[in-house]
Structure 1
């Protein structure tokens, strides 16, 4: 049965790579948030926040999947191969350039989806982007060494989304953490 599903997935990926990668990101971000809400940071007072899961899942579908499709496709074309120097270069580009861009997209999307002001979003980015970037290094540097060395280019986003489920628990927590005080908002507005 798994073999048949894997085969069907690969056929669909070949026919509609952008859509399938967006759907795998939707799945990864949705599962990550469900796990975060149910097991990591359950809110006993408010209960399960379905709209939070919708926001995270839609980010996966609308932003993570499509941008990942194009970014990793571009990266593989610009720097082909799996030699260690090539892999190290790709990991460095991913973590030093793409990672902060991704974090800004993530916090901006969530803020806009929640109806927050640009000042609130700016404060969120200022407050939490460094934590997100550094936190990413612990997961994604080793994961991307495997990714760029052993995973075929067309399977990269599936591999990333498999790991992303666990990482999304962290992102879900961080993305939904409140900015501490109005002082942060005032500082960001300056």
Structure 2
């Protein structure tokens, strides 16, 4: 049995775990790329940062994505243009800001930061994260909702997410103090 067939068998047998593991992989790869190829190479590699991002993928992104996209597909089945446009609009106007709050909140919590730090991060970076998302996810989700089978949605999202996670990793790990200097 090939890798693709094994993945699909695992997806059918344990969809939540498979999607969580797929998100773990996507977020881990995105942070590794960000730290090694995008950010200041003078800083040493931060393995705990990669663990934080990967654990977010596993615990939050994969699980909430499984339920959110499953719910969306159950309420709005099909691939008619109006359905696809509605799903993209819901994803980007409702889910996207919620996801951003979860992302920054998770990082804040696992780093032991205060609620004031979280509020500052949301004020300074949520709009950037949401608007940055539009450039990537509006076209990506148009393809997703029109052509990707529901069971494969999170794999497709995580494939795109690897590149997008470079941006999220950078933004999520940029300190409030760094932003005040700019």
State the TM-score bracket (shorter-chain normalisation): over 0.9
1:1-190 equivalence runs, <5 A: 4-44=2-42, 46-180=43-177
Query: Is the contact made by 1:36 and 1:42 (CA closer than 8 Å) also made in structure 2?
Result: no
C-alpha distance in structure 2 between counterparts of 1:112 and 1:180, whole Å? 18
Cα deviations by residue, 1:31-59 (Å, 9 ceiling, x for unpaired): 00000000000341x30000000000000
C-alpha distance in structure 1 between counterparts of 2:177 and 2:127, whole Å? 15
Root-mean-square deviation (CA, aligned residues, Å) is 1.3
Q: Match of 1:187?
A: none
Name the SS of the counterpart of 1:38 in structure 2: helix
TM-score (structure 2 length as normaliser): 0.96
Cα deviations by residue, 1:9-46 (Å, 9 ceiling, x for unpaired): 000000000000000000000000000000000341x3
C-alpha distance in structure 2 between counterparts of 1:176 and 1:62, whole Å? 18
Query: Is the contact made by 1:28 and 1:161 (CA closer than 8 Å) also made in structure 2?
Result: yes
Q: Match of 1:188?
A: none
Name the SS of the counterpart of 1:52 in structure 2: helix
TM-score (structure 1 length as normaliser): 0.92
C-alpha distance in structure 2 between counterparts of 1:19 and 1:59, whole Å? 14
- Structure 1 unaligned segments of length 5 or more: list them: 184-190
Distance 1:182 1:7, change over 3 A: closer
Aligned length: 180
C-alpha distance in structure 1 between counterparts of 2:178 and 2:5, whole Å? 51
Name the SS of the counterpart of 1:180 in structure 2: helix
Distance 1:28 1:182, change over 3 A: closer
